[in-house]
Chain A
Amino acid sequence: MVTMTELHKYGTRKFIMPGTAACPGCPLQVGMRQLAMALDGKFVMVIPAGCSSIIPGTAPYTAYTVPVLHVPFASSPAVASGIVRAVRQRGNEGPVVVWAGDGATADIGFATLSGAAYRNEDILYIMADNEAYMNTGIQASGTTPWMAWTTTSPRGKTEDKKDVALIMLMHKVPYVATASIAYPMDFIDKVRRAMQVKGFRFIHLHAPCPPGWKMDDAYTIRAARLAVETGAWILWEYNQGKLTISPPSIPFKDRARRKPLEEYLKIQGRFAHLKPEDIKLMEEKIDRQWDLILKLAEIYK
């Protein structure tokens, strides 16, 4: 279990060089820093089109300090499959990580994701989910929550959030987990546990985006925390046959202990138009999701 004491050794280490093109308060930055700490800065990244293509700044320089291959939108799992085969042949066992957004993963890259997962490619796939196509200016993606405002769903998205993590679970891969940037210890532990496993490992990382969610720049972590505390985001982990609810989410199994959903919704302008009946419906969806995950935890005991 990682501790702050252990992480202190990275106190002055710049896994991402400062001075990036990221928006102030960017959750992807927070998440990637945590990922780098978990891997001690020794990995390669395959990054499909998205915010993370732009964040590192312009050539001849980049803010990323590990080898990175920027790739077309739909291709990252396939490209990573090729890289890992090539480097494993040379006896290099180092981590090949895909750092992809929700659009790249749940939508345009869905086929390549499925292909890499079903082949059980030895890669770590992090879907950094800011819940829309943010890099192009906030358009709805497959993981945009129901009723969220985006430029292509101005009255609120009519489709539900695509549950990519469960889809990955059904691909029978050895490791699937959800994580949140507000729970760095949990995320870092999960990355490290994932690295103990060979094969396709998928982590769905919740990454609240201030401009995209119409939120104060400073509320990135607050929103991520409220998502877990209201039960809207469930932290769970599936590791080689066992599915468990992660410690930060355990208290919220109990409906009564979840913070009122309004607390999470009211700091986000993208939900400002919600009526009480919408919020009620949302709570019901959250209940059903908890039901499903808890039942899966029973099945995968």
Chain B
Amino acid sequence: MTGQISLAKQVKKVLVGDHAVAEAVKLARVNVISAYPITPQTLIVERISEMIERGELKADYIRVESEFAALATVYGAAAGGARAFTATSSHGLFYMYEMLWWAAASRVPLVMAVVTRALGPPWNIHDEHTDLLAIRDSGWIIGMAQNVQEAFDMTLTAFKISEDEKVLLPVAIGLDGFILSHTAEPLDIPSQEDVGSWLPPRNPRIPYTIEPGGEPITMGNLPKNDVYHALLKKYMDESMENAKKVIAEVYDEYGKLTGRNYGPLTECYRCSDAKYIAVSMGAWSGDIMGAIERLRDEGYPVGLLRIRYLRPFPEEDITAWINGAKGVIVFDRDYSAGLGGVLASEISGFIPSNVSFEGVLAGLGGFDVSPDEFRGIIKEFIDKTEREGPIKIRKYWYIPKVEG
């Protein structure tokens, strides 16, 4: 860890989420960026291109021919010892699916912004978390921001987390398509100088570099024994566990740097005296907090557990927060076909049998859910539990009526 950290000089700007991410990439002094357009991520790579043209960022900017190439090139850059970044969404993310797994298991540090978007058909460029969640098995650390400030902060810290020698896993930072990516909010941005002393350049030696004249190592040829493969997965698991601590350490330092203190893996809003816990990820958590406020005014003892990082899976946080709760209601802006909401399915295993549980599928395809609608859904869940005792509703489809 770096030495003494003092509060940075910060400038307030108003930026859309995508531009905030670009700002973080600039401050992290990324060496190689690959660019392929896909709505709603395109603003990120466009802004980075402008920054490079203006001389604000010295980096190799590679205009690639597909998202598969986008990840392959930054993966190559990382294997070559550079700090690398790319961004994508939905279909683009799925086009690089093979490379995602290869990159993670290669154990090179990488950061990628995933601006979440629904998958077709039918074509839909609006927000849905299914794309980001579809990579949850791949070995990528997955975080999701709630607002533009956090999108910036999570992108910046991602480099430190990924490159930590106890982690060495790529990090994907999710931000809601259009809702965050194209929405302007104010944020505080630390100076380049202050970021520079907290985040040094990438050390190419960690974990290895493929370079002409370098150590004659080969990455990836067949193992003599299949057990090696199992061992490597176990080591990946250990690194994921390490990541929990590293993420906490990094945010602790980042808090000293910026004055902003986060979760780090999760944050729980009004949970200390909550009997009912709502769970969510991403931007609509803000709307759910609005609902929580109203419910509290009505006397409902409810709080919101907001998941910041879904991988490594914050098991300890979740079990701690839901301990003693009478009911847990999970909001999924995603759908795993044949199962239900992804968050709900990941959390349901931790819910004791005598605790009420509901998994709500809402906002799919990007339709808005207002704080009042959230309030209605949560209220109904709590009321029902209070009346009938613990209920188990694995899939509650919230689909509002469409006007003519």
- Give the interface of A toward B (CB within 8 A): 42-44, 46, 53-54, 56-62, 64-72, 74-75, 78-87, 89-90, 92-96, 111-112, 114-115, 118-119
Which among B216, B221, B222 has the highest number of chain A CB atoms within 10 Å? B221
Picked from B65, B74, B80, B220, the residue with its CB within 8 Å of the CB of A112 is B65
Cα distance, A89 to B211, chains bound together (Å): 12
What sequence of 0s and 1s flags, for each residue 27-42 of chain B, a beta carbon within 8 Å of any chain A beta carbon? 0000110100000000
Which residues 202-223 of B sit at the A interface, judged by CB distance below 8 A?
204, 210-223
CB contacts (< 8 Å) of A62 on chain B: these are 218, 221
Contact (Cβ within 8 A) A68 B68: no
* Known pairs A44-B210, A53-B221; A82 contacts B216 (CB<8 A): no
- Give the interface of B toward A (CB within 8 A): 31-32, 34, 60, 62-66, 68-69, 72-82, 84, 98-99, 102, 204, 210-224, 228
Q: List 8 A-B contacts (CB under 8 A).
A: A68-B221, A69-B210, A78-B64, A84-B76, A84-B80, A90-B211, A94-B211, A112-B66
CB contacts (< 8 Å) of B60 on chain A: these are 85-86, 89
Which among A57, A85, A112, A118 has the highest number of chain B CB atoms within 10 Å? A85
Contact (Cβ within 8 A) B212 A92: yes
Which among A42, A67, A81, A118 has the highest number of chain B CB atoms within 10 Å? A67
Rounded to whole Å, the gap between the CB of B77 and the closest CB of chain A is: 4
Cα distance, A65 to B68, chains bound together (Å): 29
CB contacts (< 8 Å) of B72 on chain A: these are 71-72, 75, 78-79, 82, 112
CB contacts (< 8 Å) of B215 on chain A: these are 67
CB contacts (< 8 Å) of B98 on chain A: these are 72, 74-75
Contact (Cβ within 8 A) B65 A83: no
Contact (Cβ within 8 A) B73 A78: yes
CB contacts (< 8 Å) of A90 on chain B: these are 81, 204, 211
Rounded to whole Å, the gap between the CB of A80 and the closest CB of chain B is: 6
Secondary structure class of chain A's binding surface, majority of residues? mixed
Rounded to whole Å, the gap between the CB of A236 and the closest CB of chain B is: 27
Contact (Cβ within 8 A) A69 B220: yes
Taking A68-B221, A72-B72, A85-B76 as known contacts, 10 extra A-B pairs with beta carbons closer than 8 A to each other, sorted by chain A number, are: A44-B212, A58-B221, A62-B218, A79-B72, A82-B32, A82-B72, A83-B79, A84-B80, A94-B213, A112-B72
The 6 closest A-B pairs by CB, nearest first: A94-B212, A82-B76, A86-B80, A115-B65, A78-B72, A70-B220
Picked from A58, A82, A118, the residue with its CB within 8 Å of the CB of B80 is A82
Rounded to whole Å, the gap between the CB of A16 and the closest CB of chain B is: 12
* Known pairs A94-B211, A94-B213; A69 contacts B219 (CB<8 A): yes
CB contacts (< 8 Å) of A60 on chain B: these are 224
Cα distance, A118 to B212, chains bound together (Å): 24
Which among A75, A80, A90, A118 has the highest number of chain B CB atoms within 10 Å? A75
Contact (Cβ within 8 A) B218 A82: no
Rounded to whole Å, the gap between the CB of A264 and the closest CB of chain B is: 34
For B225, the closest partner residue in chain A by CB is A58
CB contacts (< 8 Å) of B224 on chain A: these are 58-61
CB contacts (< 8 Å) of B66 on chain A: these are 111-112, 115
CB contacts (< 8 Å) of A79 on chain B: these are 72-73, 75-76, 79
CB contacts (< 8 Å) of A69 on chain B: these are 76, 79, 210, 218-220
